[in-house]
Amino acid sequence: MKRLILAVSMLALSLSGVRAVALTIEITKGADGGIPIAVVPFKWQGQSALPVEVGDIIAADLYRSGQFNPLPVDDFLSRPSDESEVKYKDWRLIKAVNLVVGRVTQMGTDRYAVRFQLFDVFRERQLAAFLWKVTGSDLRKIAHQISDKVYEALTGRPGAFDSRIAYVTLLRTASKGSEYQLMVADADGYNPKQILRSPDPILSPAWAADGAWLAYVSFEDGRSKIFVQNLNTGARKKLAEFPGINGAPAWSPDGKHMAMTLSRDGNPEIYVMHIASGSLRRLTNHSSIDTEAAWSPDGRHLVFTSDRAGRPQIYRISAAGGRAERLTFEGKENARASYDRAGKHLTLVTNHGNGDQIGVFSLPTGSLEILTDGRLDESPTFAPNGAMILYAAQRGGSGLLSAVSADGRVRQVLRSESGTVREPAWSSLNR
């Protein structure tokens, strides 16, 4: 595992390919026993064509989660759009456990009312309903929010469909050389937006909890620097440009502090910066390399990667400082850890002698479960609800993003229409 050394020396990523335009998702392993659910195409009440097929987006979201098995539309015996039109026996006949219906009504120029209802087919009762009034550009977002409401109503856990991902792409051309791009897209790969373009490497995107800011490392002018950028306004601020390494930024849960790796005092250590004032506090002090800090959800602790025991392993330290506690002992090396939403598990890169793979470490038990079978899997990031893990992988000599459920039952591949993607980061639920 060379991830530790790469992170602290801030070398350019080994990326190749062409500019990412959009990401498409391929399910490579599905979960058996998903809940049979019928998502009826939403009734359109308008003068022109429906801008977005809301029902299709909902069905795709639920299928990608691995928790649901959307039934084929061709099997439907009826197509209700309201509770008054639902004949429960029609849905029991095709073995649907739950039913989603809805309608989209045009209210004026680029104004729409979207209503949905969720039903328990066997108990014959409504489980959820909601009404939105939106513009056409928000219809996909509303579809994802409906998916979130369905997911939470049926699983008891918040959905993560209305969240976003950040990632880095690289375009190599004979005429222009390398061109890095920092991109942001919806969780299903749609609506990609370029945040930054540079001929120099871009690394380590990190989301603030409010979803409005990204931190990242840029090698502009040949030196590593940490920036934060507002995604709504484009406003950009340089946080760190100290001599040596400036890397691995991580927002505190309250958005007031940034953990980072700096070598300003000679050795790579973990520092915490108060963002508003720029004041800096050194958190670790060891002769070995300390890097890749990540905050616990309650802000009381940070985990980080250190080779103080000879090889990279995961350690935990109080946010107030003090003695670091080693967490991982299983496997040759462990690195790049981050918390799930509940603060009970870490996703990390682990090496047991067969390359770098993605694992989940249980903080209560100390057990480590390996979820992937690649040899160059890296940069894992939990979905904001903790159900999925997004990570970078190498397949066939090119880089792509993959996702695996936290229990290992579901696997997906996210491919760029035109090239390579790396360095993923998943936003919080509050976007």
pLDDT, tens digit, 9 for 90 and up, residues 99-122: 999 999 999 898 999 999 999 999
From residue 312, alpha-carbon distances to 289, 326, 333, 335, 349 in Å are 9, 11, 5, 6, 10
Name the one residue in this structure whose structure tokens are 């002018």.
221
pTM: 0.90
What pLDDT does 399 receive?
A: 84
Q: What is the CATH number of domain 32-155?
A: 3.40.50.10070
CA pair distance 115, 126, nearest whole angstrom: 14
Angle formed at CA 209 by CA 390 and CA 132, multiple of 5 degrees: 90
For 149-206, what is each residue's pLDDT tens digit? 999 999 999 999 999 999 999 877 766 778 899 999 999 999 999 999 999 999 999 9
Question: What angle do the packed helices 139-155 and 54-65 form, to 10 degrees?
Answer: 40
From residue 284, alpha-carbon distances to 4, 271, 312, 317, 324 in Å are 16, 7, 15, 8, 8
Beta carbons within 8 Å of 384's beta carbon, 6+ residues apart? 158, 160, 163, 341, 426, 427, 428, 429
Reported as a pLDDT band with limits 50, 70 and 90, residue 20 is very low
For 44-80, b where at least 16 C-beta lie within 10 A, e where not — what string? beeeeebbbbbbebbbbbbbbbbbbbbbeeeebeeeb
Range(s) of the chain covered by CATH 3.40.50.10070 = 32-155
Range(s) of the chain covered by CATH 2.120.10.30 = 3-21+161-426
> What's the count of helices (H) and strands (E) in the chain, helices before strands?
4, 31
For 333-359, what is each residue's pLDDT tens digit? 999 999 999 999 999 999 999 999 999
Encoded tokens for 354? 């067969």
Beta carbons within 8 Å of 403's beta carbon, 6+ residues apart? 388, 389, 390, 391, 410, 411, 412, 413, 414
Residue with the larger pLDDT of the pair 11 and 254: 254
Domain topology for 3-21+161-426: Neuraminidase (2.120.10)
